[in-house]
């Protein structure tokens, strides 16, 4: 698969077994792998590439997938994602026509190989596999929509999927049922509101017939016509069918890659590259409990401005609620305990901190009996001894909104504009900056609002997908300022 002057290892033999005769390689590449403008990446790549290409091509594809995930976590619309990703595609993975046949061949080769390289990177855990499938599916959708109608049909036919376009005679037989089934979709997806426009569209639309189990999601929404075990889908919905097939294919192939991955254990050339790519290639975040920035975190220092001024707004809200009431309800305790764990507060210091707060409203005995166990459990020292991870923004936003007297959740979602503005002003933001952040949150871009605050406070332009990421970046900025002084 790749070429290098370094020694061959036992793991290399696994790649050699997949080689084809070099004399037929060009024909295989041009006629089988890279003939279409789009691909399901069904066949493995063959031939050799250099280690430099192996890493560089993967990094270029990761840049595109990162941008897709970044836009997704900021709740961007598909159109916004598409407008952002297309320039990156032209820069890093161009597949447009070119007068230079060799350049076009190299571009297609880069696209094909980079996909399979990243399969190795993201196959090892379910979280990584899900992330890869989600982002690659969006990339596939963007590319499919850039094809002409003719190229779309050529590509679909090349896949040999279990689809058949029905004949005009069959359409006429089921005409009434087909129209009733797609009428709601015509209104909500294509904005066709009057019966004449719907009928006109229907008369010119082709329909796809396939086994109903292939579209169980559409069946559950009652948006298709079923007859004798077959589902009838209008052609304008074919992209969703393709995406379902693509996701299913990727899921199966990633599991196969995960099972085969141990065979690479002896190859000391690519494993470090794969590890680096998979741990530094996405906008997810894992707190480092033992980083240099956590060395001064303890039950007393949390109260100091030096530490808590770096809290994101959600953590500040939790701390303020605890300071006011000397008690937090279960979801809030979980959220704040895990956040403090993530910034480096040890179990002993956490017990001291929570005991100090709670015993201002309850007895020490009650705290020990009703609350200490849960804190130790959160740190993985009781019960199943699971090392629970601090909640990321996605998890926090999945929890119920806080009721009166509760402090958990995301302030950018849960606070009204007036209270949110007051909190942002208390963080030191100017009136104009406060208005900008409130406007972002009012559009439902909650992580985008927090990202904007991080940028305004530290100058760091990084998507906030985790409260602990916000804290760590603020601490890094704080340390740099102290060094300058």
pLDDT 10s per residue in the chain (485 long)?
Answer: 444 433 333 333 333 333 444 445 555 555 555 566 788 998 888 878 888 888 889 889 988 998 888 777 666 788 989 999 999 999 999 876 556 778 888 888 899 999 999 998 888 888 788 889 999 999 999 999 998 888 887 888 888 887 788 889 999 999 888 888 888 878 777 777 788 888 888 888 888 888 887 777 666 666 688 888 888 888 888 888 899 889 999 999 999 888 876 665 555 666 677 766 665 555 556 676 666 666 789 999 999 999 999 999 999 999 999 999 999 999 999 999 999 999 999 999 999 999 999 999 999 999 999 999 999 999 999 888 888 899 999 889 989 999 999 999 999 999 999 999 999 999 999 999 999 999 999 988 898 899 999 999 998 878 888 999 999 999 999 988 887 76
Are residues 234 and 95 both part of a single domain?
Answer: no
Residue 231 domain-assigned (yes or no):
yes
Are residues 418 and 433 both part of a single domain?
Answer: yes
Residue 123 domain-assigned (yes or no):
yes
Are residues 147 and 62 both part of a single domain?
Answer: yes
> What is residue 14's predicted lDDT score, i.e. its pLDDT?
36
Where does residue 435 rank: exposed (0-12), middle (13-18), buried (19+ CB within 10 A)? middle
CA distances (Å), origin 268, targets 12, 263, 265: 10, 12, 8
Task: Indicate the angle between helix axes 431-442 and 417-426, nearest 10 degrees.
Answer: 140
Are residues 260 and 146 both part of a single domain?
Answer: yes
Contacts of 195 (CB under 8 A, 6+ apart): none
Q: Rounded distance, CA 336 to CA 332, Å?
A: 6
Residue 243 domain-assigned (yes or no):
no
Are residues 262 and 330 both part of a single domain?
Answer: no
Residue 13 domain-assigned (yes or no):
no
Q: Which of 213, 238, 263 is the last residue of a domain?
A: 238
Residue 52's domain comprises 27-159+249-281
Are residues 113 and 65 both part of a single domain?
Answer: yes
Q: Which residues pair with 376 in a beta bridge?
A: none
Q: Rounded distance, CA 108 to CA 38, Å?
A: 9
Are residues 140 and 272 both part of a single domain?
Answer: yes
> What is residue 121's predicted lDDT score, i.e. its pLDDT?
85
Q: Are 192 and 198 in contact (CB under 8 A)?
A: yes
> What is residue 434's predicted lDDT score, i.e. its pLDDT?
95
Triad 67, 70, 72: Cα angle to 5°: 110
> What is residue 298's predicted lDDT score, i.e. its pLDDT?
94
Residue 1 domain-assigned (yes or no):
no
Residue 96 domain-assigned (yes or no):
yes
Q: Are 45 and 1 in contact (CB under 8 A)?
A: yes
Contacts of 324 (CB under 8 A, 6+ apart): none
Show the beta-strand stretches assigned E in 277-381.
none
Are residues 267 and 229 both part of a single domain?
Answer: no
Are residues 183 and 79 both part of a single domain?
Answer: no
Are residues 102 and 42 both part of a single domain?
Answer: yes
Q: Is 121 flagged in the annotation as binding?
A: no
Map residue 209 onto helix, strand or coil.
strand
Q: Is 410 flagged in the annotation as binding?
A: yes
Residue 404 domain-assigned (yes or no):
yes
Residue 348 domain-assigned (yes or no):
yes
Q: Are 124 and 277 in contact (CB under 8 A)?
A: no
Are residues 57 and 199 both part of a single domain?
Answer: no
Domain count, the chain: 3
Q: Are 458 and 427 in contact (CB under 8 A)?
A: no
Are residues 321 and 414 both part of a single domain?
Answer: yes
- The enclosing domain of 255 has a CATH number of 1.20.930.80
CA distances (Å), origin 248, targets 48, 124, 145, 215: 28, 17, 20, 12
């Amino acid at each position: 698969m790749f070429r290098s002057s370094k020694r061959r290892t036992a793991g290399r033999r696994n790649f050699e077994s997949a080689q084809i005769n070099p004399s037929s390689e060009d024909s295989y590449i041009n006629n089988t792998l890279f003939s279409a403008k789009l691909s399901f990446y069904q066949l493995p790549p063959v031939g050799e590439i250099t280690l430099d290409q192996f890493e560089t091509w993967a990094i270029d594809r990761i840049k595109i997938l990162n941008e897709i995930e970044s836009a997704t976590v900021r709740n961007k619309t598909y159109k916004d994602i598409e407008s952002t990703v297309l320039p990156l595609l032209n820069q890093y993975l161009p597949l447009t026509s070119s007068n230079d046949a060799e350049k076009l061949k190299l571009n297609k080769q880069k696209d094909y190989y980079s996909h399979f390289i990243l399969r190795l990177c993201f196959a090892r855990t379910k979280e990584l596999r899900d992330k890869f499938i989600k982002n690659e599916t969006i990339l596939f959708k963007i590319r499919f929509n850039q094809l002409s109608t003719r190229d779309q049909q050529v590509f679909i036919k090349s896949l040999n999927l279990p689809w058949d376009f029905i004949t005009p005679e069959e359409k006429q037989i089921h005409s009434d049922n087909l129209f009733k089934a797609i009428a709601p979709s015509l209104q909500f997806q294509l904005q066709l509101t009057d019966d004449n426009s719907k009928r006109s569209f229907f008369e010119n639309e082709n329909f796809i017939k396939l086994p109903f189990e292939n579209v169980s999601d559409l069946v559950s929404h009652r948006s298709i016509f079923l007859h004798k075990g077959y589902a009838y889908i209008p052609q304008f919905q074919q992209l969703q069918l393709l995406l379902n097939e693509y996701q299913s294919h990727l899921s199966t192939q990633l599991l196969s890659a995960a099972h085969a991955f141990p065979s690479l254990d002896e190859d000391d050339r690519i494993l470090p590259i794969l590890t680096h790519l998979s741990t530094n290639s996405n906008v997810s975040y894992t707190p480092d409990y033992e980083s240099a920035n956590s060395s001064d975190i303890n039950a007393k220092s949390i109260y100091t401005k030096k530490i808590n001024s770096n809290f994101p707004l959600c953590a500040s809200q939790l701390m303020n609620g605890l300071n006011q009431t000397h008690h937090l309800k279960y979801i809030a305790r979980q959220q704040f305990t895990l956040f403090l764990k993530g910034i480096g507060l040890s179990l002993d210091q956490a017990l001291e901190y929570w005991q100090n707060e709670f015993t201002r409203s309850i007895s020490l005995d009650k705290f020990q009996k009703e609350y200490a166990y849960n804190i130790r459990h959160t740190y993985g020292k009781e019960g199943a001894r699971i090392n629970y991870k601090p909640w990321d923004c996605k998890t926090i936003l999945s929890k119920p909104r806080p009721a009166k007297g509760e402090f958990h959740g995301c302030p950018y979602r849960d606070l009204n504009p007036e209270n949110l503005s007051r909190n942002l002003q208390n963080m030191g933001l100017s009136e104009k900056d406060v208005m900008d952040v409130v406007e972002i949150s009012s559009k439902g871009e909650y992580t985008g609002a927090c990202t904007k605050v991080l940028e305004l406070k530290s100058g760091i332009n990084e998507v906030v997908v985790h409260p602990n990421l916000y804290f760590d970046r603020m601490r890094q900025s704080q340390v740099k300022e102290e060094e300058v002084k």
